[in-house]
Chains A and B, each alone.
Chain A
Amino acid sequence: MKQRRRFLILLAAMAAGAWAFAQPGSQIVIGLQAEPVTLDVAQLSDYNSSRTAMPMFEGLVRFADGSTDVEPALAERWDVSDDGLVYTFYLRPGVTFHDGTPVNAEAVEFSFERQTDPAHPYHDTGTFPYAEFTLGNIASIEVVDDLTVRLTLRENFAPFLSNLGMHAAALVSPTAVMASGADFSENPVGAGPYRFVSWRRGVEVVLERNPDYWRVTPQVERLIYRPIVEDQARLAALEAGEVDLAVNLPPDDLPRLRSDARFTFAEQAGMHTWYVVFNVTKEPFDDARVRQAVAYAIDRQAIVDAVLGGTGVLAKNFLPPVVWGYTEDVPEYPYDPERARELLAEAGYPDGFEVEFWVPASGSGMQQPVAMGTVIQDYLSRVGIEATIQQFEWGTYLDRVIVPLDSADTVPAMFQMSWIGDNGDPDNFLYILLSGDQFPPFGFNLGFYANPEVDAILREARTTSDHDARVTLYEEAQRLIMADMPVVPVDHETQIVIHRTGIEGFVPHPTGVFRFEKVEVSAP
């Protein structure tokens, strides 16, 4: 019956000829902030790429809708050995990639080893920024039979299963990678609810639904992603009906859109932190008092209210509240310029100092970097700290601030950064961003903060299996970190997706990706 209906739909579509406009209700046009860089799921490192690519892929497990709880995906079920080192996954039978080749144990081995093994014949088909983080802990992959695969870990690692829900652990069609080579990033083939149709550079990426998707049959037939770089232009496109769904619209326009019945807001508390990083290897921020002074000097609540227009919540702690283990029992830093001046005087800077402050022009998770930077600069000047802003394009910016310790002197004293959680585990914030083990290129501790006490706690927490024990450890780590103030957390962004009223069932995911397989649309 279902088969037959699909056939009829196909017939109808063919009869309609120019089907782009034959069924306007069956497509959603998404306004992206910028052109995707790659559609290869293993190479993703930015929102524009992942929001476009993720509907085409799926991994062994995935995060449930609206949370970071792990649920079965291409693996029906799995066993974990008692020592937490051996994971055996049983794949869902009969599932195929979009090119018709089967999803099997060999595809798992191929997808993972392509990224992690430099000797793999297809390792040169891309650069894999998340490979080490996501899959680095896997010591060996064993194909047990066609539908069974066994992963052996190097060490017990509590968040491992969560990592397998991340994009870099999604499965790609080995046949397609072999055929396309490096061009796989422009011809992606996965097993997700949507499949690739076309990519016109600078114009749009078109995906169509995968009628063979195992979980459901998606209702919306086509997804069209258009890069519209200027926020105002994206807003204009949404209001003019040229796009159906958009993100990162100017905060000051949101109240107006909220009261407009044509639009619906979908919101999700962010697994995100926006922060100012101090290069603690250099004066003056090698002194914790100076770092604390900066925290006191900035009216962060005012930034959240005025600059961000309530699109974020004040960060009282580095860890976002949606991540488990969060505590508010940490040292607080209310706006207090007097206290800031005292601390500066104590540290030997009664007249303040001059400092370089790097700011990206834009960037995923960076919210309003230039505006926020300008306000922070202003607040700092009121306590005598004269910051000089230097602006960079995002790609250049990342290249310049992510450097190993031996180049630490090339990194300015202060710069902006943000982090979007990948797997919902506190380890994914605290260890990666603030542990002394995680200086680049291994992790993202960009300011080179290292406190041996914090490091020991974080290391213990990531190899402990007991959940309650981990919570206690992370709470202690947060207290120590907020006392040291290696970074000034400013806010946790609320994901606000605004779409045309008539799109039903769109729920933003905490990881920031878009899911459309359960979305339905009525005519505009």
Chain B
Amino acid sequence: MASYLLRRLLVTFPTLLGVSVLVFLSLHLAPGDPALVMLGPKATATSLEALRTELGLDRPLHVQYLRWIGGVVSGDWGRSIQLRAGVLPLVWERFQATLILAVVAMIVAVGIGIALGVASAVVAGSLLDRTAITTTLIGYSLPPFFLGIVLQVVLGLRMGWFPVTGMYPAGGGDFGDLLTHLVLPAVTLAAGIGALLARMTRATMLEVLRQDYVRTAQAKGLTRRVVVLQHAFRNALIPILTIVGLQTGYVLGGAVLVEQVFSWPGIGTLAINAILARDFPLVQGVTLMVAGTYVFTNLLTDVAYTLVDPRISYQ
């Protein structure tokens, strides 16, 4: 187990390294001179030359990459052109907000999705099942930005039940404030993933329920509850975990849109502004942070497998 984890961890590094190369190249693949992009058309030849030297753009590409990655490792992620501040503090502060939103949305999605999927599979073909299927299909087909807008107006403004923007009341607030501010964005973000999870769970459960050992267990006279939860669900868990792990990436991505709708001070709003302003150091920082998280989550998912099903580690 330990050696598997170690091996898995070792495999992560090349991926991260590759990711960093891609992120780095994104700046250098962009049409035009990065220095010109930074200075704009007002640039003079001298200021361009000075900036190129300052940024090390006159060096060979691999030297530039090593310098940048060296900076990244030692905590110097460069300076945002537009916001005139260090990239790492900017990204880190916003990232925490996104993480809170993503984790809560994921918990909501997993909880509701799996419960609905299991329940639906158990009563397959019934009215409840069909209602659940329809609901999840709708949830899955609704563009999240559209759902967010509707929730904001109906539940936030018409009903006045939840705050509609931001993460805390102005001036800061406590944990309770955070929770109420989380409701609408988290539900918006969770809807699609929850629906997908419900569908996957249902399909997997149906598959498992058809297996011989489940039939055997039922034949042995175990209660349906025990059969479903202890035998079937346990075995359905691995594919479900897979989906959960994969969707984490989409939660992080989907957060961008939801943040925009609810003015959530996360990394998404930061990313959009950085891209629109062609603030490349910041774009690099944001993408690196998110991709790193994604790789790390995949690692966690794999570890979770080994816990659920020890056989996997021997592959």
A441 touches B42 (CB 8 A): yes
Tell yes or no: A13 within 8 A of B by CB.
no
Q: B153 contacts which chain A residues (CB < 8 A)?
A: 236
CA distance A183 to B139 in the complex (A): 47
Q: Quick check: B278 and A396 within 8 Å, CB to CB?
A: yes
> Which partner residue on chain A sits nearest B264 by CB separation?
A202
| Residues of chain B within 8 A of A186, CB atoms compared | 85
Residues of B within 8 A of A118 (CB): none
CB pair B277 A393 closer than 8 Å: yes
Residue interface mask A184-223, B partner, CB < 8 A = 1: 0110000000000000111110100000000000000010
Question: Which of B97, B149, B166, B173 is the one whose CB lies under 8 Å from A226?
Answer: B166
Across chains A and B, the number of contacting residue pairs, with CB separation under 8 Å, is 108
**B64: Cβ under 8 A from any A Cβ:** no
CB of B208 closer than 8 Å to a CB of A: no
Contacts of B149 in A (CB 8 A): 232
Q: CB of B170 within 8 A of chain A?
A: yes
Within B150-172, which residues are at the interface with A (CB < 8 Å)?
A: 152-153, 156-157, 160, 163-172
Give per-residue flags for B271-282: 1 if the beta carbon is below 8 A from chain A beta carbons, else 0. 001001110000
A240/B157 in contact, CB under 8 A: yes
Q: A37-B83, A243-B170 are in contact. Are A396 and B156 (CB under 8 A)?
A: no
Q: How far is the CB of B273 from chain A (nearest CB, A)?
A: 8
In A219-263, which residues have CB < 8 Å from any B CB?
222, 224, 226-230, 232-234, 236-237, 239-240, 242-243
Give the Cβ gap from B5 to chain A, nearest Cβ, in Å: 36
Q: Given known contacts A400-B41, A440-B42, is B93 in contact with A200 (CB within 8 Å)?
A: yes
Query: Contacts A200-B93, A203-B166, A204-B171: A403 and B265 contacting too (C-beta < 8 A)?
Result: no
Whether A233 lies near B261 (C-beta < 8 A) is yes
Give the interface size bracket for B toward A. Answer: 35 or more
Contact B173 A229 (CB under 8 A): no
> Which residue of the partner chain A has the closest CB to B39?
A399
Chain A: minimal CB distance from B271 (Å): 12
In the complex, B269 has a CB within 8 A of chain A = yes
Residue of chain B at shortest CB distance from A440:
B42
Interface flags for B165-204 (1: CB within 8 Å of A; 0: not) read 1111111110000000000000000000000000000000
**Residues in A whose Cβ lies below 8 Å from that of B160:** 240
* Chain A nearest CB, measured from B24 CB (Å): 22
Checking B93, B166, B265 against A242 with a beta-carbon cut-off of 8 angstroms, the contacting residue is B166
CB atoms of B278 and A233 under 8 A apart: no
Also in contact, A361 and B85, with CB within 8 A (given A206-B171, A240-B157): no
Chain B binding surface, main DSSP class: loop
Pick the contact of A201 from B94, B163, B166, B262 — CB < 8 Å? B94
Interfacial chain A residues near B287, Cβ < 8 Å: none
Compute how far the CA of A414 lies from the CA of B273 in the bound complex, rounded to whole angstroms.
25
Q: How far is the CA of A229 from the CA of B265 in the complex (A)?
A: 11
**Contact in complex: B165, A236 (CB < 8 Å):** yes
Given contacts A185-B84, A226-B170, A230-B260, contact A402 B94 (CB under 8 A): no
List chain B residues, Cβ under 8 A from A35.
83
CB contact under 8 A between A202 and B269, given known A240-B157, A441-B42: yes
Q: Does A38 contact B (CB under 8 A)?
A: yes
* Across-interface contacts of A94 in B (CB, < 8 A): none
Give per-residue flags for A375-396: 1 if the beta carbon is below 8 A from chain B beta carbons, else 0: 0000000000000000001011
Does A410 sit at the interface, judged by CB under 8 A? Answer: yes
A402 and B93 in contact, given A233-B263, A236-B165, A393-B276 (Cβ under 8 angstroms): no
In contact, A228 and B165 (Cβ under 8 angstroms): yes
At the interface, yes or no: B236 with Cβ under 8 Å from chain A? no
Contact A202 B165 (CB under 8 A): no
C-alpha gap A229/B266 in the complex (Å): 13
CB-defined contacts of A440 to chain B, threshold 8 Å:
42
Task: Give bound CA distance, A233 to B260, whole Å.
Answer: 9
Question: Is A81 part of the contact surface with B, judged by Cβ < 8 Å?
Answer: no
Given the known interface contacts A230-B261, A441-B42, the answer about A242 and B276 at a Cβ–Cβ threshold of 8 Å is no
B165's partner among A237, A393, A395, A399 (CB-CB below 8 A) is A237
| Chain A neighbourhood of B273, CB < 8 A | 393
Residues of B within 8 A of A27 (CB): 170-171
Contact A395 to B41, CB < 8 A, known contacts A200-B93, A230-B260: no
How far, in angstroms, from A204 to B94 measured CA to CA in the complex? 13
In the complex the two chains form, what is the Cα distance from A38 to B82 in whole Å?
A: 10
A347 at interface by CB-CB < 8 Å: no
Q: Once the chains are docked, how many angstroms separate the CA of A35 from the CA of B262? A: 15
Q: How far is the CB of B159 from chain A (nearest CB, A)?
A: 11
User: B40 to A20, Cβ gap below 8 A?
Assistant: no
Alpha-carbon distance between A202 and B160 when the two chains are bound, in angstroms:
25
Asked whether B209 is an interface residue with its Cβ less than 8 Å from the other chain, the reply is: no
What chain A residues lie within 8 Å of B278 (beta carbons)?
Answer: 396
Q: Contact: A237 with B164, CB < 8 Å?
A: yes
Instruction: Find chain A residues with CB under 8 A from B97 CB.
Output: 202
14 intermolecular pairs with C-beta atoms under 8 Å apart: A20-B173, A29-B170, A35-B83, A37-B83, A37-B84, A38-B84, A200-B265, A201-B90, A201-B94, A206-B171, A236-B165, A240-B156, A410-B41, A440-B42
A37-B83, A236-B156 are known; give 6 further A-B pairs, CB within 8 A: A35-B83, A203-B168, A224-B170, A233-B165, A240-B164, A399-B42
Binding site for A on B (CB under 8 A): 40-42, 82-85, 90, 93-94, 97, 149, 152-153, 156-157, 160, 163-173, 260-263, 265-266, 269-270, 273, 276-278
Identify the 9 closest CB pairs spanning chains A and B, nearest first: A399-B40, A393-B276, A202-B265, A29-B170, A224-B170, A20-B171, A236-B164, A237-B165, A403-B41
